[in-house]
Chains A and B, each alone.
Chain A
Amino acid sequence: MKVVRHIAVNVFKESVRDKVLYNLVVFAVLLISTSYLLGQLTAGQDMKIIKDLGLASISIFGLLIAVFIGIGLVWKEVEKRSIYALLSKPMGRGEFILGKYCGLVLTLLINVGIMTIAYYAVLAYLGWTADPATRTSWPASPTDPAMLEAIALIIVELMLVTAIALFFSTFSSPFLSAMLTPGLWDIGHFNDDLRNLGAVTGSPAAASVARGLYYVLPNFSAFDVKAQVVHGQAVPLSYVGLTSLYGLTYLALVVLGAATIFARRDFK
Chain B
Amino acid sequence: MDAIRTEALTKHYTSGFWRPRPYLALDALTLQVGQGEVFGFLGPNGAGKTTTLKLLMQLIYPTSGRAEILGKPVGDVGVKQRIGYLPEQPYFYDYLTAEELLEYFAAIFGYAPAERRARASKLLDEVGIGAERRLQLRKFSKGMLQRVGVAQALINDPEIVFLDEPMSGLDPLGRREIRHLILRLRDRGCTVFFSSHVLGDAEALCSRVAILVNGHLATAGRLSEMLAFQVRGWELVVSGLTEAALQKARALGHVTGAAPLGESRYALELPLTPPPERILAELMAQGARLVSLNPLRDTLEDFFVRHVSGDARARPSTSLGAGGPEPS
Chain A residues within CB distance 8 Å of chain B: 2-3, 6-7, 10, 13-14, 17-18, 80-92, 264, 266-268
Contact = CB atoms under 8 A, between A and B. Distances in A.
Contacts of B96: 10, 13
Contact of B108 (A18, A82, A83, A90): A90
B61 interface: yes
Q: Indicate the member of B83, B87, B90, B153 with the most A CB atoms within 10 Å.
A: B87
B253 interface: no
Given A17-B95, A82-B93, A91 B108 contact: yes
A85 B59 contact: no
Contacts of B61: 264, 266
B281 interface: no
A263 to B, nearest CB: 10
Given A2-B110, A13-B95, A80-B91, A90 B81 contact: yes
A18 B93 CA distance: 12
Contacts of A80: 91
Q: Indicate the member of B13, B59, B78, B152 with the most A CB atoms within 10 Å.
A: B59
4 nearest A-B pairs in the assembled complex, by CB-CB distance: A88-B85, A84-B87, A266-B60, A90-B80
B80 A91 contact: yes
B300 to A, nearest CB: 26
Given A266-B61, A267-B54, A89 B149 contact: no
Interface residues of B, number: 33
Contacts of B108: 3, 6-7, 86, 89-91
A83 B80 CA distance: 15
Interface in B71-129: 77-78, 80-81, 83-87, 89-93, 95-96, 104-105, 107-110
Contacts of A86: 105, 108
Q: Indicate the member of A3, A6, A83 with the most B CB atoms within 10 Å.
A: A6
A2 B149 CA distance: 23
B57 interface: yes
17 contacts: A6-B107, A7-B108, A10-B96, A13-B95, A14-B93, A81-B91, A82-B92, A85-B86, A88-B85, A89-B80, A90-B77, A90-B78, A90-B109, A91-B80, A92-B77, A264-B61, A267-B54
A84 B109 contact: no
A87 B61 CA distance: 14
